[in-house]
Amino acid sequence: MVEQRKPNIVILDAYVTNPGDYSWEPLEEFGHCTIWERTESKAEVLERAAGAEIVLTNKVVLTRDILEALPELRLISVLATGYNIIDLDAATELGILVCNVPNYSTSSVTQHVFAVLLQLLHHVGSYARAVADGAWCRSRDFTFYLESIRELEGMTLGIVGYGAIGRSVAAVARTFGMKVLVNTRTPQTDSSVRFTDLATLLAESDVVTLHCPQTPETVRMINRQALEQMKRGAILVNTARGALLDEAAVAEALNSGHLAAAALDVLSIEPPPVDNPLLNAKNCLITPHVAWAGLNARRRLLDIAFDNIRRFCQGKPVNIVNPKVLS
């Protein structure tokens, strides 16, 4: 019996998904693997993906001209849930399957939302730094105050986008005693929240958190007009996509005090240029796109990605985002 030839598998940007605390070894079961920590130019993509039948990418963009130059490519496995880095129309026309990894980061992102929100309301870091600097030792009283501490109970949380993460955030918010408003493009039934239009959500929410995909309709959805609709003193949280914000307008709203604070895990360009106005805006807590990246979440991501490859090699592909290729 002739042994079936194993496909060539190329990982274009391994580091961001797996900086060394998990193994790529399971992929060796399915094919001959070449692992690149980073791929930073179109020329590198074309050189490294040449001859590959399966390509894994997290943020390396695969445009039509790149896909047309890779005639042996049969599967693109996106190491993320969002797949806007792929020219999906071109992939479909060329007969290339594209799969993604859904719902791996729900717990991690939910935890991050409340970690930053509690930091903004409880100022744990500021108090801890003050104690480390000796302020408590110098205090005349058993306690001292730096900034007001606010409670989540009784606040209204507005959630834009009600997929797995949005629903998870809503469940946690309710345990804190928050009222939950939801704006979503997909009609749903959930008596524990109140569905409403975006303008109403912005006007009534003390905290607005974004959990919607980046589409032509959502790019810069939080612009000057939307910010003017928000309550003065509201908080904005974005763990979705940086392009959802008009960053200059958000920076202006923070600096003027119209927004009390913002917690942003994503920016329009990553890494950001030093002149991004949000980097120096008042009360703007920025983390480097790590909400998704908890250790457990990244392990789930890789386990699902490995299963995507396994099922593809078995002729039973799953998590396909362009199913027309199969028809």
Which positions are catalytic? 241, 270, 289
d(CA 221, CA 62): 26
CB within 8 Å of 252: residues ≥ 6 apart: 224, 277
Tokens of 152: 């989540």
How many other C-beta atoms are found inside a 10 Å radius of the C-beta of residue 311? 15
For 99, what's the count of Cα atoms within 13 Å in the CB-facing half-sphere? 24
Is residue 12 within 8 Å of 33, Cβ to Cβ?
no
Phi then psi for 44, rounded to 5 degrees? -65, -40
Q: Residue 312: which H helix or E strand, with range?
A: helix 295-313
Q: Which helix (H) or strand (E) holds 111?
A: helix 106-122
How would you class 115 by CB atoms within 10 Å of its CB: exposed for 0-12, middle for 13-18, buried for 19 or more? middle
Starting at the earlier edge strand, list the strands of the sheet with 8-11. Answer: 32-35, 8-11, 54-57, 75-78, 97-99
Pairing mode, strands 207-210 and 156-160: parallel
Per the rule left: phi > 0, alpha: psi between -120 and 50, beta: everything else, 92 is: alpha
